[in-house]
Amino acid sequence: MQDTAIIADDLTGALDSAAPLAGPARVVVATSVAALDRALEHPHDILAVSTRSREIPAEQARARVARVLASLPGGIRLFKKVDSRLKGNIAAELSALPDRPLLVAPAIPDFGRIVRAGQVSGFGVDTPIDVAATLGGRPATIPDTLTAENMRAALAAAAPGTILVGARGLALALRGDQPPAPVQHLDGPLTIAVGSTDPITLEQVAALRAARPALVHVMAPAGVVPPPPGSTAPVTLIQMTDGPETPPAQAAQRFAGGLAPWLDRAGTEVITGGATAEAALDAMGIDVMTVAGEILPGLPCCRVGPRSIVTKSGGFGTPDTFLRLAAMTEGARAHG
């Protein structure tokens, strides 16, 4: 597999696009631009970096992508990871890339999110999104990608040197016929930290609560997390909720700081939402990670010391995602 750099605008995106490539390739992720030089020192085939630029002004986002490009070795394949629903500063970030052909394929067919006639539609997309309109006028090939086979065909047809622009679906096409890395178990106890307000994540929270009425559910208004009790439950859900008016970045930082004592006691931590994942890992002093693989489709798993860290984009997963993760950790405990 050709050495590849994945440049994502948030951490969950960097991880969920890199994780499908783990196994046949060595995958290293820098959680910020500042960590990129340290990540480059690790043995790797795939290097992913979060520019943390989804919610910042467009010109700052462009500058961060340019900083990444200046640090990368020559000849590396470029994969600009974009949100599959085309959120963020896409046009500004693309303008920092070299003037080479673009293959733009944001679909994730195995999630039911497709591109047809230049528009993203399907799962989690209420109104079709015009892909070309988000590119800032930059010419690009935007193929129909309704299936994984369509995605592989589009990738195979791309000329050498083409810059890849897409999401997890395009990463899966890069993997080709190579088997995924097996991540076969998660250790308990499980702590799920939810900073995302995406309806897909909220449905997963509701399903977990409905199936587990005895679940320890900790509310964190405006990111204020209470201290943990003396005992540890098998499954704990900590959810940031509305509270006193607080800037989102400040609430995320507060939430991350409050999470730290809860996460320190977990065998597996699941962190949902890109800003939440970035802030939580910062609070734990983690800035470079090696990806073990996917524990579920779209959910990358990293091993950090004795624990597992699973991240999830707000718009990823099925309604039973959190339930399945809980069952995995409980099964591991029962057979441990």
Domains recognised in the chain with CATH numbers? 4-175 (3.40.50.10840), 190-335 (3.40.980.20)
* Contact present, 218 and 174 (Cβ < 8 Å): no
pLDDT of 44 reads: 93
Mean pLDDT of 281-304: 90
Query: Taking all residues of the chain, what is their mean pLDDT, rounded to a whole number?
Result: 92
pTM greater than 0.75 (yes/no): yes
Q: How far apart are CA 318 and CA 294, in angstroms?
A: 15
Mean pLDDT of 225-235: 93
Confidence check: pLDDT of 190 > 60: yes
pLDDT grade for 252, boundaries at 50, 70 and 90: confident
pLDDT of 1 reads: 64
All residues at 6 or more sequence positions from 189 whose CB lies less than 8 Å from its CB, including other chains: 232, 233, 234, 235, 236, 265, 266, 267, 268, 329
pLDDT grade for 331, boundaries at 50, 70 and 90: low
Mean pLDDT of 37-53: 95
Kindly compute the dihedral angle of the four CA atoms of residues 111, 112, 118, 120, in this order, to the nearest 10 degrees: -70
CA distances for 247 relative to 20, 50, 254, angstroms: 34, 21, 11
Q: Residue holding tokens 């900073």?
A: 195
Q: Residue holding tokens 């810059």?
A: 163
Mean pLDDT of 94-105: 98
CA atoms within 13 A on the CB side of 163: 21
pLDDT of 335 reads: 40
pLDDT of 336 reads: 45
Mean pLDDT of 27-45: 95
The three-state secondary structure class of 313 is: coil
E strand or H helix at 171, and its extent? helix 168-175
Nearest Cα to Cα of residue 184 among 17, 308, 314, 319: 308
Mean pLDDT of 234-259: 89
pLDDT grade for 246, boundaries at 50, 70 and 90: confident
pLDDT of 334 reads: 42
pLDDT grade for 273, boundaries at 50, 70 and 90: confident
β-pairing, 235-241 with 119-122? unpaired
Mean pLDDT of 52-71: 97
81 phi, psi to nearest 5 deg: -75, 130
How far out from the chain centre does Cα 128 lie? 22
